[in-house]
Amino acid sequence: MMNEPRARHLMTTDVVTIPPDMPVADIARLLGDHAISAVPVVGEYGELLGLVTEADLVCRLAARLDQPPSWLASFFVSPARAAERYARTHGFTAEDIMTTDIVAVPPNMPASEIAATLERHGIRRVLVVEWDRLQGVVSRRDLLRAIDDAPPGPAIGDVSDDRIRRAVIATMHRLRWAASAQAVVEVHDGVVEFHGITPDRSIQRGLRVLAEQVHGVKGVADRTVILPPDLYSAG
């Protein structure tokens, strides 16, 4: 992780932003003109205030079909949540409709942690913020540069077959899915061979990738046999 590029190295700094008083109609046109799905809302001094997304605008459009809640239903709805939804679906400016619960990362966050953040929240890009000021945006496409710039793996040296075998088995024991495979590991001249049975091809692929990560491995030969789930569990 020490050699990973950080958010500050990957982020796009030329970010389209809008002021909090921009009208909703202008925001919709801006998103279309720039072919973007979200735009940060920043204050006079560059402070990040919120984010307006396509979803916010679509929600506003869908709200035209909202029916007033019944007396009984309104009794159970939080007045604060009801007021917030009303403001966001009927407001006229960015400040009215913007999302304030923003996923942001600091400039020194490593690429792997940024990728994990995107996956965890199911988003395509994340804002880079420092001292409440917007610094840039890192997208999934920006992260591809981290893969291109990744340092090569350790050079293959003279690692004994026994050491490789013990390393592969130790890794398998740490991973539940790998431990589920009834596979025997053999190593000959740096080539890892898997023998036995596995429940499906995904386990075979995982074992191959697992072995390839071990220092000194020159190749992987999967000689396991896939058995149907009923036969595998019976064994």
64-109 residue pLDDT tens = 555 554 444 555 556 666 666 676 677 889 998 898 989 999 999 9
Q: Which residues pair with 91 in a beta bridge?
A: none
Contacts of 45 by beta carbon, 8 Å cutoff, 6+ apart: 133
Instruction: Give the mean pLDDT of 215-230.
Output: 86
pLDDT for 153: 53
pLDDT for 194: 96
Using the predicted structure, report yes or no on whether residue 61 has a pLDDT greater than 90. Answer: no
**Angle (CA) 18 110 138, round 5°:** 25
Beta carbons within 10 angstroms of residue 12's beta carbon: 13
Q: Which of 103, 135, 118 is nearest to 13 (CA)?
A: 135
Residue 179 pLDDT class (50, 70, 90 cuts): confident
Taking CB atoms within 8 Å and a gap of at least 24, the contacts of 15-19 are 15/40, 15/134, 15/136, 15/137, 17/41, 17/42, 17/134, 18/42, 18/52, 18/94, 19/43, 19/94
Using the predicted structure, report yes or no on whether residue 12 has a pLDDT greater than 70. Answer: yes
Instruction: Give the mean pLDDT of 99-122.
Output: 94
pLDDT in tens, 126-135: 999 999 999 9
Q: What is the mean pLDDT of the chain?
A: 85
pLDDT for 204: 93
Helix (H) or strand (E) holding 71: helix 71-76
Using the predicted structure, report yes or no on whether residue 30 has a pLDDT greater than 90. Answer: yes
Q: Which residues pair with 26 in a beta bridge?
A: none
Higher-scoring residue by pLDDT: 51, 157: 51
pLDDT for 180: 79
Contact 204, 211 (CB under 8 A): no
Instruction: Give the mean pLDDT of 215-232.
Output: 83
Using the predicted structure, report yes or no on whether residue 149 has a pLDDT greater than 60. Answer: no
Using the predicted structure, report yes or no on whether residue 40 has a pLDDT greater than 80. Answer: yes
Helix (H) or strand (E) holding 135: strand 133-139
pLDDT for 65: 53
Q: How many helices (H) and strands (E) does the chain have?
A: 12, 8
Q: Which of 110, 103, 98 is nearest to 124 (CA)?
A: 103
Q: Which of 8, 104, 7, 90 is nearest to 48 (CA)?
A: 104
Report the share of the chain in percent with pLDDT over 90.
60
